Amino acid sequence: MSLSETSLVDTKDAPKSAAASRPATVFVDGGSGTTGLGINERLKLQNDVVVKTIADDKRKDPAAKKALMEEVDLVILCLPDDAAKETVALIDSMGDAGPKVLDASTAYRVAPDWAYGFPELAPDQAGKIKAAKKVSNPGCYPTGGIALLRPIVDAGLLPPDYPISVNAVSGYSGGGKSMIASFEDGSAPSFELYGLGFEHKHLPELQLYSNLTRRPIFIPSVGNYRQGMLVSIPLQLDALPGKPSGADLQATLAKRYAGSRHVSAMPLQNEASKGGRLEPEALNETNMLELYVFASDKYHQAVLVARLDNLGKGASGAAVQNMRLMLGMADV
């Protein structure tokens, strides 16, 4: 069996991992895709992880993959849904000898026996991820939408059955190899809406983890730039129970994410604020998420906006954050 190993640490001075007094070991299954490449690039910057790899001609060999997975603490799946399910079944067949698994596909994001990998979702969510053997990495769009909606639903400012519309724009890197190729060869349009069939794969997790009982309308779009994302949610404030102000919404977000390393509730943007514009690329190459409330007291309206890198906090950055939690390692 042809296996190879890439060590990212000096083992002589390596810290103890959650598994034993040695560096943590990880296998990224599907490391040639956009998310997998991003994860591997981030892991190269860390000094306390050993990444094990499998030869190209063995990638689809179940016996070779199983033998490798017996040697690692955690497997990160960057595969299509069906392939992810096959690998999870293989891990399940290993019983207690199987590694922890972090899945970046949509296969298990609403599965009740998997922890949802958004550590900032609730005060106890990071602890659930740390204790879990199976964690689903969130989708990029839901990360922004849930971060905005969940705190104000939990606070009672937004009823769970309120009719919500979520609009979003992403760079083309979120669309996979074919979309990337079409934009980079000039054959794609400059901008387009999609998901207009109301069946976007991110809708189930967006609704579930926002604590919404009514299915939201979600309209994503893609622009002719590589990466960066804005997720926006318009609200008629005088139609909400209690008629909250923009300041109430911002204070609720600020309270939820106070002390968070990766999520920031930005100052309220109202008539007195200068600006009124927001571009999507400012957080590229980071694992940061910024949350804004743009509000008008005059018109009793607000727009909630999340800004993130669809390849960072929306994918690879979140995966590394979750990996470190699952392995009992310090956040970076």
CA 283 to each of CA 188, 220, 226: distance values in angstroms, whole numbers, following the listed order: 24, 19, 13
Degrees, nearest 5: CA angle 123-81-31: 85
Q: Helix, strand, coil: what percent of the chain each, to 5? A: 35, 25, 45
Q: Are 232 and 175 in contact, with CB atoms under 8 Å apart?
A: no
Q: Could you give the CA distance from residue 285 to residue 196 in angstroms, rounded to a whole number?
A: 29
DSSP symbols for 131-167: H-SEEEPPPHHHHHHHHHHHHHHHTTSS-TTS--EEE
Amino acid at 54: I
Q: Are 57 and 51 in contact, with CB atoms under 8 Å apart?
A: no
Q: Could you give the CA distance from residue 103 to residue 105 in angstroms, rounded to a whole number?
A: 6
Collapsing DSSP states into helix, strand and coil, what is residue 301? strand
78 is catalytic: no
Q: Could you give the CA distance from residue 226 to residue 179 in angstroms, rounded to a whole number?
A: 11
| Catalytic-role residue among 140, 237, 249, 253 | 140
* Angle, helices 34-43/176-184, rounded to nearest 10 degrees: 90
Q: Per the structure block, which two tokens stand in for 117?
A: 């990998």
Catalytically active residues are 140
